[in-house]
Structure 1
């Protein structure tokens, strides 16, 4: 059995007295790409923060990269084994090359190796021609490509993506998802991808976890979770997740979805 890179057991997160996350068990194995999908407020980002060691749960056990996360855990050392890309790109006021190279420089990587790895990461997202451009002169799509290249260049053991394409227009989103999917396939980096757009799932994921009300209401292979029967069942079970299925089963959140016959 493949090694577990992220393993959550009986994890609960509270906001005051209200429980906002309740995950009895979730395992992400090495080389796997998992999509976490659900409506706004479902608990997707909270789950991602727990997995990325950015939020300590009120109860339960979190194991990341084989290490149990406890109060005495060196979180900085553990976080250096992962990378995260957010919905909004946060870039330094420098060149594209410098933005992608910053993590490697902080780790003391030799200069020539930095150049080689940065050039490779830029090429992966088709932005090598922007290496000398200042970050403030970039478009939204270009900025997010830089953020992704900055994460991938670190060669993380696990990559966390929190709706990285949600603010982009449709053509840019599709192009970027295709590039990202190719990188994930080539590197086999363990990936956890959060989205509220089911249309994005087939680009990246092999397995999908559907969330509603802070709970995972379904988890399995993409083809199974997106099947018509499963979507109908989820709509009935997860009242707050009615966005999953339109009345005729042909649209999700107002957008077309991949046919279950694929």
Structure 2
């Protein structure tokens, strides 16, 4: 499979997911809670989007593995594994906000090598292979590049919600919020793409799953950013994650989190 063929396939994968999901957006769609006491919504749109992607992957690359939010894992020890989240930001989706997106990640021998965030409502796609990242959408086709930010006090931070942090982790996050200039909540996958585009400086999260983050790693890194866990290790397994556009502010954030968590 050539690079051009691969890009065409991923583009098709994002398109079929969007075609499956969009008929449900801003409708009176039913919502189930799969999180027990905590609200973790899932809809027919989530199921339809992932089913469409799985069908295309299996038909094209039957030897590849798949890790997905809605239908579990298949052949996850394969050399190539697709990591799928049909709607990252379902809370945004069910409230009609366009801050959600379809995440398509590809792992090779256990490491993220390619990622796409597709937002079919705004007709935007953010793509990265770890070495470069780019945007396609209403603003044209352009390269993505993070911005310089050396100090926490100058940084704009994003996080899904303060409620994802517990105990010492919450104290650490609150210290980060106090140290930075401004915090925005609820961006989900879109926030990572805005970091790659130079609009946000740092993102601090917890309780992530692999399908929440694998696709975003090549985009952030391709734009010149850094994304790790709170100990500075690989982030592709999820958990507590920190992303930054500038390595200096990332180092400062790691130091603060280590002191408080």
TM range (shorter): under 0.3
The structure that has the greater radius of gyration is 1
For normalisation by structure 2, the TM-score amounts to 0.27
Higher relative contact order (CA 8 A, sep 6+): 1
